[in-house]
Amino acid sequence: MSTTAPSRWESQRSFDELGRPLRDLTFTVVDLETTGGSAEAGSMITEIGAVKVRGGEVLGEFQTLVNPCAQIPPFIAVLTGISNAMVADAPTIESALPAFLEFAAGTVLVAHNAPFDVGFLKHFNQQQGRSWPGFEVVDTAKLARRVITRDDAPNCKLSSLARVFRSSTTPNHRALSDARATVDVLHGLMERLGGLGVHTLEELQTFSARVSTAQRRKRHLAEGLPHSPGVYLFCDDARRVLYVGTSRDLRTRVRSYFTASETRSRMGEMVGLATTVEGIVCATALEAQVRELRLIAEHKPRYNRRSRFPERMHFVKLTREPWPRLSLVNRVLDDDADYLGPFSSRKGAEKCLAALHDTFPVRQCSDRFGKVPSRTPCVLAALGRCLSPCDGSVDATTYAAVVRLLQDTLLRRPDEVVDAINRRMESLAADERFEEAGVHRDRLAAFVRAAARTQRLTALSRCPEIVATRREDDGRWAVHVVRHGRLAAAGVIPPGADAHQFVAELRMSAETVGDAPGPVPAATAEEMEKVLRWLESEGVRLVDVEGEWACPVAGASRHLEVHDAVSKSRRSLVPFAERRDITTVHQPAR
C-alpha cells in the first residue's frame, strides 16, 4: 500500500505533546466559605479568598466577604467566625464574582477539593447569565490522595497536609488563610512529583500512582513518532512484538500509555517490558485499521486480546454429494459447496446449524450414501425430523427440492427459517414455555446474523475490483482499491494533483489479489467488514466497480434491525416483523 508524505504537523510540537512547564504557569489558588454544602440546594458564598502565584512567587491576593442575603447558620458562624454582622455591608455575589473572575483571568485554578469550590463559582456564574471562562483546574486533594501515604498523614484534609508540608499559614476556615495554606500544599506536592518526573501541567493533571515511575520515564519512546494515522508496535528487548495498536495520531496515542489516561493494568505491565515502539505511517485510517489486523494475526502479540487467531473460524457447509447434508467445518474448500459464516465461535455455529435443522429435515448423519442407499433409519427419522434417505423413505427428486430450498435460504432468502422458528416461538410462548422459546430465539438470532454477514461478505468478495473515494475531515480525498474484499491499496490525493492520474497510478501499484472460493477468500472476515463499513459510510463515492456488487433483495440484512430491537429485551419473544424489500445494488459514481 502506498503512504502519504509526512504530515504538516510532523515538524510542529503541540502544547499537549510538549507540555507546559509548571514553573512557567500562573496559578490562582482559591478557597470559598459558604453557608452550606450545595449551591443547588440554596447555599450561598460568604467569602472568597485567592492567591495568585507563578514560579513559587506570590503575584497578588484577592479577598472579599460576600453578603449571602440570608442568615448564616449558627454552626457555620462558629466554624468560620463569619457572622451576619460582618457580611451585612459586604458586596453581594453579583459584584464579588466578576471581580474574582477578572483577578483569575488567564490562570490555572487550584483548590483543595476543587469540585466544591469550582462548583459554587460555576453555579453563580451561570445564574448571572455569563459563560464560564473555561479554566483548567488542579485539585490538590485529588493529587494528594495519589501521592501522600498513611505514613505521611492520616488523611488528606487541608489541615493535615499543611502540617506535612510545614505551611507558614495554619488553615482556620477563613478563605484567604486556607488559600495561602493551599499554596504551600501545592508547592509541596509539586516538589514531590518533580522527583517522579512530573514537570508539566499535563503530567500533573494526569498523574496517577497506578503509573509507575519507570513507566512514566518511557515517554521518550513516542518522540520519534509522527502526528499521522498509522499502526504502532510495542516491542521488548528481543524485538518480540508485545502489542499492536492503531491511531489517527501515532505520537499522541503512544504518549497516552505513559499517563493516567491508560488505566488497563495489563497495559502497564506491557509498557514495563517494552523497550522500543515502532510506528508505521499509513495513508488513511482504514489502511491503519487493516494493517493492525494483519500485524496482530502475523505476530500474535501476547497483550492483544482480539484478532490474534483469524484462522480459528467455523463455517456451516452444505455438502455436494448425492444426498447433501449440513456440516460444521473449519475452512472453506474449492469444492463447489455452499458455506455460511464465518463464525468466531463453535457455539454460535452450532446454534445456527440447529436453526437450519429445525426447519429443513435433511439428514444429519455423517455417513456417505450412494445414489440408492439401503440402511436402517435413525431416531430422527422416527421423530419426523429427517426425510430418511437411508432407507428409501424419500426419493432423490423430493430430497433435492428440499436441498434447493435450503440453499436458497442460505444464499438469498432466509424467510423459510425466520417464519418456521417464529411459529414455534409463538406456540411455545402461548404454552408459557418461555425458556424453550428463548433457545429458539437465540438460534434464530445466530442464523440471521450469519446469513446477513455471509451475503454481505460474499457480495464484496466476488468483485474483482472496487475503487472508491471520500473527502476526509481535513478536506483531502482518500482513495481505496479493494480487490475480492481485500484492501489492495490506499492513498490520499495530494493538493493540486491530477485526481484521475493519481487513481490510475494507485490502481497500477495495488496488490494483485486472486479469486478463491467461499465468502472470505482473499482476506479475513474482520478486514472485509472494516472495508465494508468504510465503503458504506456517508460521503463515499464509487469511482469504478468491476463485476457486480449487490446483495440479495430479500436477503437476511432486512431482518437484522427488527431482531436487534427485539433482542434489547432478553425476555421478549415477539416474532420478527415483515419488512419491505430494499434493493442494495451499488453503482459507481458517474
The residue written with cell numbers 518511557 in the block is: 218
| One-letter-per-residue 3-state SS of 205-225 | HHCCCCCCHHHHHHHHHHCCC
pLDDT at 394: 82
Average pLDDT, the chain: 82
pLDDT at 586: 54
Angle of helix 114-127 relative to helix 140-147, nearest 10 degrees, comes to 160
pLDDT at 151: 80
| CA separation for the pair 453, 450 (Å, rounded) | 5
- Output the DSSP codes for 148-172: --TTT-SS--HHHHHHHTT-SS---
Residues 362-377 have a mean pLDDT of 76
Residue, of 369 and 42, whose pLDDT is higher: 42
Q: Which position among 173, 187, 199, 299 bears the catalytic label?
A: 173
Q: For residue 506, give every residue at least 6 positions away whose Cβ sits within 8 Å of its Cβ, in sequence order, or none.
A: 2, 479, 481, 489, 491
pLDDT at 17: 44
Told to judge if 173 belongs to the known catalytic residues of this protein, a careful annotator would answer: yes
Residue 437: pLDDT band with limits 50, 70, 90: confident
Reply yes or no on whether the pLDDT at 7 is more than 60.
no
Residues 27-42 have a mean pLDDT of 93
Residue, of 558 and 164, whose pLDDT is higher: 164
- Minimal CA–CA distance to 509: which of 534, 484, 481? 481
Reply yes or no on whether the pLDDT at 558 is more than 90.
no
Residue, of 376 and 508, whose pLDDT is higher: 508
pLDDT at 198: 76
Reply yes or no on whether the pLDDT at 342 is more than 50.
yes
Residue, of 518 and 202, whose pLDDT is higher: 202
| CA separation for the pair 568, 530 (Å, rounded) | 25
**pLDDT tens string 244-284:** 999 888 888 888 777 655 556 677 778 888 888 999 999 99
**pLDDT tens string 50-96:** 999 999 899 999 999 999 999 999 889 988 999 999 999 999 999 99
- Minimal CA–CA distance to 550: which of 513, 590, 583, 588? 583
Residue 433: pLDDT band with limits 50, 70, 90: confident
487 forms beta bridges with 482
C-alpha cell at 561: 434491525
Size (the chain), residues: 590
pLDDT at 583: 39
Highest mean pLDDT among 80-89, 246-255, 359-368, 420-429: 80-89
pLDDT at 215: 62
| CA separation for the pair 66, 93 (Å, rounded) | 6
Residues 23-49 have a mean pLDDT of 94
Percent of the chain with pLDDT over 70: 85
**pLDDT tens string 384-395:** 778 878 877 888
**pLDDT tens string 450-499:** 888 888 888 888 889 999 999 988 888 999 999 998 999 999 999 888 99
**pLDDT tens string 298-328:** 999 988 888 888 878 888 888 888 888 888 9
Reply yes or no on whether the pLDDT at 216 is more than 70.
no
Residues 9-36 have a mean pLDDT of 72
Residue 352: pLDDT band with limits 50, 70, 90: confident
Reply yes or no on whether the pLDDT at 566 is more than 70.
no
Residue 228: pLDDT band with limits 50, 70, 90: confident
C-alpha cell at 497: 494533483
DSSP state at residue 92: B
pLDDT at 234: 92
Strands 26-34 and 108-111, by their bridges, are parallel
* Upstream peptide bond of 342 is cis (omega within 30 degrees of 0): yes
Residue, of 19 and 69, whose pLDDT is higher: 69
Measure the N-to-C terminal CA separation of the chain; round to a whole number of Å.
Answer: 26
pLDDT at 262: 53
